[in-house]
């Protein structure tokens, strides 16, 4: 029987079924041992045996692989790019343990290699009947060289062969090793070209397969370098989401097909958007207005990948600016019935809500209530992490905190402090830390039972969680009842132990939390001395290179030094010299607390003179030129204490402190005004004494 394209036309289903039921095909699933022997000697066939190929397999492979050179590094937003650094090879099973499907599929692949067009289409159809999501079936295709054949089929002129091949590649490319093999064979370059085909089914399948394969860095780069991003963005353009077009059957059918193509394009762009460079190329290709348009769709299967792209791109400044206009639709979709869509929208808000305008837009469009309601989804950890993250960032604004108080969100967050994964806990504790900046919320956290689980979290190892926990306890320590609980639970000792952590962010957060604890705990001086090596440890952190660590440690030392015995101990540990070494720094956050620490350390022995001997006085005077009033206040306090030493007065006078202090005397800040005036009085007394001595 002659073989023609007509033999396997799409509408000739009966002929295909007849061929599949013929005796020639009954042998495909028989005699397992014979099949094993045959499959061990399967080899590739020449192009002459595949009369419908457009070019030889060798030429195809050479041309396809020409695009694979040295790949420059590509920045990815994924913290762990899937399988990029190592390839996990499947350990081959003992052949006696392989299921029947393995050998059946390999037999079918043989027909793909050597059959005529009709047999090829039937073989493709038969392979699709297997459960290709099972690894055994996927590996069966790969082990016998089927991937090479399937990729080559994409370059034939035969439509059915391309469709059948793409269906199979789409299914098996969920396997990480196979998607890498497809990329190595140059399949991505061919799939990108198929995006230009007029047939929508073909474009749709090609885009979906690209979405699966492009889940590792090199594949994403290949798609970009071969013009895939612009083509994929183009697939989004024809989707109608308004629902106001013509209602004829043809128009509805075309629109449904366009939406399906756009959905496939969005899936591929979602995978590609994990690369920062690809985000830039997508933006240049005009994806942002299309995303805004598609986000208004009522089609959930479309909205999920669109939401995924927006979530991936939300950290990029250009996209973040555009997302401001998408907030109403993101908020609307927080109430969707689809949990995955809600997760993407909440996560997008989480990633860009550090922008104050976006926080206020979420509040304006009534987005805080649905975020609160998502806290009930405690069984869906990914959604819970996204919702708590969005609540955390929105809580940076007082206006949002006020609404969360009305929703009783703080109580709900406290209930999530137990038995949750770390990615949820980080966000929950971060949200509590922001809310606890309001005094009423500190009381709420304590009354809801939040102090004990917060203290328990200090024993963990997750760095981000430790930072947020320290910040939450720092705020709670400002309430007297809460600090008593923290003290009783041994929380201060746990905070002090975190000063040994190698992460500067953890060190700084712990030191910031120690300050209010030392300030508000009764008999804190004795408690601090009970920590073996504790004072030496905190003084040693003044050698840190991190500004935040230095500022927080200075703040803690300013409180510790208020106890005379502790001040004597840290003086012996060289605190004066270490503080003096920092006075030339220019960061206002450090200057403020450094001046506070110097002011308190002046109150022991000859420390005032020691600061002068270490040239700490003259640089301090320059702090009065800062634009930060907090720096002025603490500097005036330090100069007041230093001016009790005559030589320090001389130094201050020589560098022009009087004129600067005169300006401070007119301040509305009583403490600043008083310290400036006292300092001037000491300098004036010394000047008068010198004058009297000369005239006497």
Query: Cα dist. 315→63, 87, 192, 429, 434 in Å?
Result: 38, 29, 27, 22, 21
Q: Is 135 helix (H, G, I), strand (E, B) or coil?
A: helix
Q: pLDDT per residue over 186-202, tens digit each?
A: 999 999 999 999 999 99
Res 15 pLDDT > 80:
no
Distance CA 174, CA 215 (A): 9
Provide the pLDDT confidence category of residue 240 given band limits of 50, 70 and 90.
low
What secondary structure does DSSP assign to 462-482, as a single string? -HHHHHHHHHHHHHHTTSHHH
Q: Is 76 helix (H, G, I), strand (E, B) or coil?
A: strand
Burial 438-453, CB ≥16 within 10 A → b, else e: beebbbbbbebebbbb
Q: What is the pLDDT of residue 239?
A: 77
Q: What is the mean pLDDT of residues 448-464?
A: 97
Q: What is the pLDDT of residue 154?
A: 93
Q: What is the pLDDT of residue 507?
A: 98
Res 95 pLDDT > 60:
no
Q: HEC profile for 576-645?
A: HHHHHCCCCCCCHHHHHHHHHHHHHHCCCCCHHHHHHHCCCHHHHHHHHHCCCHHHHHHHHHHHHHHCCC
The 8 Å CB, 24+ separation contacts for 676-684 are 676/636, 676/639, 676/640, 678/640, 678/643, 679/636, 679/639, 679/640, 679/643, 679/652, 682/640, 682/643, 682/644, 682/649, 683/643, 683/649, 683/652, 683/653, 683/657, 683/658
Q: What is the pLDDT of residue 241?
A: 52
Half-sphere exposure of 106 toward its Cβ, with a 13 Å CA cutoff?
A: 25
CA angle in degrees (0–180, nearest 5) for 363-367-372? 110
Q: What is the pLDDT of residue 85?
A: 45
Distance CA 671, CA 682 (A): 17
What secondary structure does DSSP assign to 436-461, as a single string? TTSHHHHHHHHHTT-HHHHHHGGG--
- Which of 15, 97, 370, 72 minimizes the C-alpha distance to 220? 72
Tokens in use for 603? 């109150």
> Any idea what DSSP says for residue 105?
H
Structure-model confidence comparison of residues 376 and 693, the more confident one: 376
Provide the pLDDT confidence category of residue 34 given band limits of 50, 70 and 90.
very low
Task: Identify the weakest region by mean pLDDT among 75-79, 616-620, 638-642, 670-674.
Answer: 75-79
Q: What is the mean pLDDT of residues 408-426?
A: 96
Rounded to a whole number of angstroms, the distance between the first and last alpha carbons of the chain is 133
Distance CA 669, CA 674 (A): 9
Helices (H) and strands (E) in the chain, counts: 45, 0
Burial 612-648, CB ≥16 within 10 A → b, else e: beeebbbebbbbbeeeeebbbbbbbbbbbbbbebbeb
Res 681 pLDDT > 80:
yes
Q: What is the mean pLDDT of residues 219-223?
A: 96
- Which of 577, 493, 477, 480 minimizes the C-alpha distance to 527? 493
Q: pLDDT per residue over 465-506, tens digit each?
A: 999 999 999 999 999 999 999 999 999 999 999 999 999 999
Tokens in use for 575? 């605190």
Token pair 């006085």 in the structure block, residue: 617
Q: What is the pLDDT of residue 694?
A: 64
The answer to whether 204 and 239 have CB atoms below 8 angstroms apart is no
Provide the pLDDT confidence category of residue 367 given band limits of 50, 70 and 90.
very high
Q: What is the pLDDT of residue 87?
A: 42
- Which of 68, 147, 132 minimizes the C-alpha distance to 102? 132
- Which of 614, 612, 595 minimizes the C-alpha distance to 672? 595
The residues pairing with 76 across neighbouring beta strands, listed in sequence order, are 275
Residue 605: left (phi > 0), alpha (psi -120 to 50), or beta?
left
What secondary structure does DSSP assign to 362-398, as a single string? HHHTT-HHHHHHGGG-TT-HHHHHHHHHHHHHHTTSH
Provide the pLDDT confidence category of residue 405 given band limits of 50, 70 and 90.
very high
Provide the pLDDT confidence category of residue 349 given band limits of 50, 70 and 90.
very high
Q: Give the chain's length.
A: 696
Provide the pLDDT confidence category of residue 115 given band limits of 50, 70 and 90.
low
Query: Cα dist. 594→67, 543, 642 in Å?
Result: 58, 13, 14
Q: Would you kindly state where each structural domain of the chain is located, as residue ranges?
A: 314-407
Question: How many Cβ atoms from other residues are within 10 Å of residue 571's Cβ?
Answer: 19
The answer to whether 200 and 261 have CB atoms below 8 angstroms apart is yes
The residues pairing with 275 across neighbouring beta strands, listed in sequence order, are 76
Half-sphere exposure of 693 toward its Cβ, with a 13 Å CA cutoff?
A: 6
Task: Identify the weakest region by mean pLDDT among 116-125, 389-398, 446-455, 684-693.
Answer: 684-693
Distance CA 264, CA 266 (A): 5
- Which of 277, 270, 393 minimizes the C-alpha distance to 340? 270
Distance CA 661, CA 679 (A): 8
Q: What is the mean pLDDT of residues 195-223?
A: 95
Q: What is the pLDDT of residue 440?
A: 95
C-alpha torsion angle, residues 127, 131, 133, 137 (rounded to 10): -60
Token pair 């952190």 in the structure block, residue: 541
Residue 616 makes CB contacts below 8 A (sequence gap 6+) with: 579, 580, 583, 598
% of residues, the chain, pLDDT over 90: 69
Q: Is 275 helix (H, G, I), strand (E, B) or coil?
A: strand
- Which of 449, 344, 445, 443 minimizes the C-alpha distance to 386? 344
Distance CA 437, CA 338 (A): 34
Half-sphere exposure of 557 toward its Cβ, with a 13 Å CA cutoff?
A: 38
Distance CA 59, CA 65 (A): 10
């Amino acid at each position: 029987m002659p073989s023609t394209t007509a033999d396997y036309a799409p509408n000739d289903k009966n002929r295909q079924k007849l061929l599949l039921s013929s005796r020639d095909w009954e042998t495909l699933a028989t005699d397992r041992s014979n099949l094993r022997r045959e499959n061990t000697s399967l080899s590739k066939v020449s192009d002459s045996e595949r009369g419908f190929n457009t070019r030889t397999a060798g030429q195809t492979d050479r041309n396809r692989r020409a695009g694979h050179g040295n790949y420059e590094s590509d920045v990815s937003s994924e913290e762990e790019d899937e399988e990029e650094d190592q390839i996990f090879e499947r350990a081959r099973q003992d052949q006696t343990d392989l299921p029947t499907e393995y050998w059946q599929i390999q037999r079918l692949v043989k027909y793909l290699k050597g059959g005529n067009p009709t047999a090829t289409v039937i073989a493709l159809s038969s392979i699709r009947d297997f459960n290709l999501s099972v690894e055994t079936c996927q590996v069966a295709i790969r082990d016998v060289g089927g991937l090479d054949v399937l990729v080559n089929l994409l370059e034939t002129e035969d439509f059915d062969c391309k469709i059948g091949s793409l269906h199979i590649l789409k299914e098996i490319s969920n396997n990480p090793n196979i998607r890498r093999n497809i990329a190595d064979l140059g399949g991505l370059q061919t799939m990108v070209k198929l995006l230009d085909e007029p047939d929508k089914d073909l474009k749709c399948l090609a885009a979906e397969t690209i979405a699966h394969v492009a889940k590792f860095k090199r594949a994403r780069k290949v798609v970009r370098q071969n013009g895939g991003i612009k083509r994929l963005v183009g697939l989004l353009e024809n989707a109608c989401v308004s629902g106001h077009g013509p209602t004829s059957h043809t128009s509805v059918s075309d629109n449904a097909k366009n939406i399906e193509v756009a959905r496939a394009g969005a899936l591929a762009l979602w995978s590609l958007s994990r690369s920062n460079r690809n985000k830039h190329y997508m933006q240049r290709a005009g994806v942002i207005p299309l995303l805004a348009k598609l986000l208004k769709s009522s089609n959930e299967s479309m909205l999920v990948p669109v939401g995924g792209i927006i979530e991936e791109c939300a950290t990029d400044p250009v996209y973040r600016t555009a997302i401001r206009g998408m907030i109403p639709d993101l908020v609307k979709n927080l109430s969707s019935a689809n949990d995955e869509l809600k997760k993407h929208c909440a996560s997008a808000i989480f990633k860009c809500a550090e922008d104050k305008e976006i926080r206020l837009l979420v509040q304006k469009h009534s987005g805080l209530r649905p975020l609160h309601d998502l806290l009930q989804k405690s069984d869906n950890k990914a959604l819970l992490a996204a919702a708590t993250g969005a609540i955390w960032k929105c809580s940076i604004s007082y206006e949002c905190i006020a609404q969360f108080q009305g929703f009783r969100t703080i109580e709900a967050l406290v209930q999530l402090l137990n038995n949750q994964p770390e990615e949820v806990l980080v966000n929950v504790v971060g949200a509590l830390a922001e809310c606890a900046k309001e005094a009423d919320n500190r009381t709420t956290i304590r009354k809801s039972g939040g102090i004990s689980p917060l203290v328990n979290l200090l024993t963990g190892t997750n760095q981000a969680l430790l930072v947020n926990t320290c910040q939450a306890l720092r705020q709670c320590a400002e309430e007297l009842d809460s600090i008593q609980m923290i003290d009783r639970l041994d929380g201060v000792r746990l905070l002090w132990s975190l000063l040994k952590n190698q992460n500067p962010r953890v060190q700084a957060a712990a030191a910031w939390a120690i300050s209010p604890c030392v300030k508000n705990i009764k008999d804190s001086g004795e408690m601090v001395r009970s920590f073996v090596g504790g004072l030496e440890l905190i003084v040693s952190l003044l050698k840190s290179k991190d500004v935040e660590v230095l500022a927080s440690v200075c703040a803690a030392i300013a409180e510790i030094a208020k106890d005379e015995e502790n001040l004597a101990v840290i003086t012996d540990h060289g605190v004066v010299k270490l503080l003096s070494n920092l006075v030339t720094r220019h960061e206002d956050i450090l200057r403020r607390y450094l001046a506070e620490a110097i002011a308190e350390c002046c109150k022991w022995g000859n420390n005032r003179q020691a600061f002068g001997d270490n040239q700490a006085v003259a640089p301090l005077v320059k702090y009065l030129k800062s634009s930060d009033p907090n720096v002025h206040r603490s500097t005036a306090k330090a100069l007041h204490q230093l001016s009790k030493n005559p030589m320090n007065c001389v130094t201050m006078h020589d560098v022009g402190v009087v004129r600067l202090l005169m300006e401070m005397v007119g301040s509305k800040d009583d403490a600043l005004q008083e310290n400036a005036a006292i300092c001037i009085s000491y300098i004036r007394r010394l000047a008068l004494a010198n004058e009297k001595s000369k005239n006497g």
